[in-house]
Chains A and B, each alone.
Chain A
Amino acid sequence: MAMQDTTIDPPVMQAQRRLPPEVNILFVLVGIALVFEILGWIFQGQSFLGNIGRLKIMILQVSVIGIIAVGVTQVIISGGIDLSSGSIVGAVAMVSMSFAQSADYARAVYPALTDLPVIVPILAGLCVGAIAGFINGWLIAYTKIPPFIATLGMMVAARGFAKWYTKGQPVSFPTESYVAMGKGMMPVIIFLVVAVVFHITMKYTRYGKFTYAIGANPQAARVSGINVERHLIKLYVVAATLAALAGMVVAARGQTAQAGMGLMYELDAIAMAVIGGTSLAGGRGSIIGTSIGMVIFGVILSGFTFLRLDAYYQEMIKGVIIVAAVVVDTYRQKKRVKKS
């Protein structure tokens, strides 16, 4: 483009760079951890953070839901919500486990299909998740019903499917290779891989860029040439597939699958994303933030156990923290709007 006038004001590259929003959440995490550390010395006479074993268990406890939270985060960034993840965990655990049973077990769901290579149950599980996600995404994109309703329907239906699949019977006795998926620190490793992959995806690929664009302004996204409908379907397929992965990890770790598995996981996953700074209004959020949100969850969980406080308190405090996180976020956004 040959412009007549190309004199420009020298770009004012200011040194002062605003801190990324994740830093705020990190401070909250550090603050909460320090509170437990101090209370630990006062009431228990020992360090909270100084115990590596405890920290390992802490991360292990939350990383399965963390896998779900990664998928839910990208859905929330697009302006949507996914309530079906917990039920998909249950449904996928059942289906996947039924293809993972060892031949030693006399009452397998499919007696002819035992001792299959581990890839079979994994693919079966991922397929079930992807199908559920496709249904979610298709309903949201093409019938224009709110994501809340579409995924609420899936939440109820997938749970029903999980119960129907074996008429309520648990499925057990998986092969060794299947069990390996949930052994030791495997859930944490899987979470880390998922988190890194999606951190890169959200930041550096078109998929990520379009997700933020749709959340920030779906109409502008459409006018910019983005196929919003197709992208929504992808988002929900990815979210449900990650929930499926989480479902298999849970089943492998427990060496059994039950229809009730993953109950309320969707809400914990949403809470992790929200605490991590993901805006329910769409357009804002990050995988790093959600990961920090996940660790905050873990710290609270294990901190209360550490202080030998009743589990009831845990839930109450968890509730307060979720609401407080959103109040702070809303307040921050209001301030931004006023400024502009």
Chain B
Amino acid sequence: MLDTDQTRQRTAYTGDFILEVDKVRKEFPGVVALDDVQLRLRPGTVHALMGENGAGKSTLMKIIAGVYTPDRGEVRFAGKPLNIKTPIDALNSGIAMIHQELNLMNTMTVAENIWIRREPRNGIGLVDHGQMAQMTQALFDDLNIGLDPADLVGDLTVAQKQMVEIAKAVSYDSDVLIMDEPTSAITESEVEHLFAIIRDLRSKGVGIVYITHKMNELFEIADELTVFRDGQYIDTVKATDVTRDDIIQMMVGREITDMFPKIDCDIGDVILEVRNLTLPGTFHDVSFCLRRGEILGLAGLVGSGRSNVAEALFGVIPAASGQIVIDGAVVDMTSPAVAMQHGLAFLTEDRKETGCFLQLDCLENIQMALLTREKVNGMGFVQQGEVTKLAEDFAAKLRVKTPNLSETVENLSGGNQQKLLIARWLLTNPRILILDEPTRGIDVGAKSEIHRLITQLAGQGVAVLMISSELPEVLGMSDRVMVMHEGHVSGILDRSEADPVRVMELAAK
């Protein structure tokens, strides 16, 4: 039987910290996501966890919530080692979490969503909807939320859904509440409301881990803050002891090494011009131009609309208005096939979701884009001899490590999968290459090989638009850096004027 008692007892403990993360390490194939990190949360405080995209914050939160198990190290809760295998264990232990993405069931009511798994029962074991509505109303009154418990979640706005998530997390009466960017989808006034709730919980002794990118929120709500960078623990400080610039320095402060072998090359004429590209609700008035041989870096937080602009350029999800001009002519970019006709290629952000054909072999993965345009005879037969030779050449140049090209792609490492996808696009001989997170989740060696390749392509006159969440990569590789914030271009910096602090300022406001 699952716990049906609605109010769990707060965990009793002695000691300064309710939650302690000690030397936790987590590796994924090819990457170290967390390298001996620590985090100490005091009860009755708000502890901000900061770091760039990919710093390891979300991985740690998933470890605490029981989604991942650490390779090494320990998480202690109320002084005792925490043994969590599933998210339900975490909730039962007294740790609730608000994930970055919404996890609600749209076809159920607000009340059903909040009390799922803990529904009040009547005498014969059926769900007592009356009592459930009362409990929800009481919770909402307490939190000052003006929603109807009987509404369907699917009918709510994103911001209202976020409030339901918050109410649900609070309803667990946890000792620790983890919030992963809870304000990314809500408006100013709702942020104030959320902060009021957080202050109230804090005064009741709840320890809150608050993950955010937004500096102003940080100073308004956080007591302490911990910074991660590249999976490593940097420091924990009191919020009152530091300034905004100190924090940015802690987050990005690292030397840009020769990992990014930028070669200056001749930048030619404008090949792509984007004018006022808009997709309502996603990005607005995006304008920029791209020249032959140029690498234009595109920085911004996750959700700033970077990838959406790339998708619009490639016709995956076309923009609603604005113009895409290639070689001086306006192109109606309605599908990837049209984009490919104009010499575009697009390495998507998510290898697994929109890149690889996992069950197919390497050769099929490399040749698929080419086959939509050429190397097929009038009968529809693939000129396999020629294509195989091309594919083998590119696989060798990119140093794809696989016994042979008939290996199934799901058996390859992330870095090799990425190289295959790059090979797929190079086979089409593109003039404009859009790369969305070209080195995400791959090891250092493969990373620098890909960086070198990108530079070489630019040297041959290919225009490159490179989206990256890694500041050093953007700054190291790009001739110019365009920064997006909440769907708008917040600035375009020349290589000489782009530095981590300026980019972060434009990205985070």
Interface centre among A14, A201, A217, A224, by most chain B C-beta atoms within 10 angstroms, is A224
Q: CB distance A213 to B368 under 8 Å?
A: yes
Assembled-state Cα–Cα distance A227/B373 (Å): 11
Assembled-state Cα–Cα distance A201/B380 (Å): 9
Q: CB distance B356 to A217 under 8 Å?
A: yes
Q: A8-B396, A204-B381 are in contact. List 16 more A-B contacts (CB 8 A).
A: A3-B453, A4-B452, A9-B401, A12-B404, A204-B384, A206-B380, A209-B367, A209-B368, A213-B357, A220-B357, A223-B355, A225-B340, A279-B359, A284-B359, A339-B411, A340-B411
Pick from A6, A209, A222: contact of B397, CB under 8 Å? A6
In the A-B complex, list the 5 residue pairs whose CB atoms are closest, starting with the nearest. A216-B357, A225-B372, A283-B359, A224-B369, A205-B380
Residues of B within 8 A of A212 (CB): 357, 360, 364
Q: CB distance B340 to A220 under 8 Å?
A: no
Give the residue name and chain of the A residue nearest to B369 (CB).
A224
Q: Residues of A within 8 Å of B, CB-based: how many?
A: 39
Q: CB distance A206 to B376 under 8 Å?
A: yes
Q: CB distance B372 to A226 under 8 Å?
A: yes
CB of A2 closer than 8 Å to a CB of B: yes
Give the residue name and chain of the B residue nearest to A16 (CB).
B403
Pick from A14, A209, A213, A223: contact of B316, CB under 8 Å? A223
Residues of B within 8 A of A284 (CB): 359
Q: Residues of B within 8 Å of A, CB-based: how many?
A: 48
Give the residue name and chain of the A residue nearest to B335 (CB).
A227
Assembled-state Cα–Cα distance A204/B360 (Å): 15
Assembled-state Cα–Cα distance A155/B74 (Å): 58
Q: How far is the CB of B43 from chain A (nearest CB, A)?
A: 40
Taking CB atoms and an 8 Å cut-off, the chain A residues in 5-29 that contact chain B are 5-6, 8-9, 11-14
Residues of A within 8 A of B150 (CB): none
Residues of A within 8 A of B368 (CB): 209-210, 213, 221, 224, 226
Pick from A6, A13, A283: contact of B403, CB under 8 Å? A13
Q: CB distance B380 to A223 under 8 Å?
A: no
Assembled-state Cα–Cα distance A164/B478 (Å): 69
Give the residue name and chain of the A residue nearest to B425 (CB).
A224
Instruction: State whether A340 and B364 are in contact (beta carbons under 8 Å apart), knowing that A1-B397, A14-B403, A206-B382 are contacts in the complex.
Output: no
Q: How far is the CB of A311 from chain B (nearest CB, A)?
A: 38
Assembled-state Cα–Cα distance A284/B360 (Å): 8
CB of A316 closer than 8 Å to a CB of B: no
Assembled-state Cα–Cα distance A16/B304 (Å): 48
CB of B337 closer than 8 Å to a CB of A: yes
Residues of B within 8 A of A336 (CB): 408, 410-411
Residues of B within 8 A of A220 (CB): 348, 353-357
Q: How far is the CB of A26 from chain B (nearest CB, A)?
A: 20
Assembled-state Cα–Cα distance A340/B356 (Å): 14
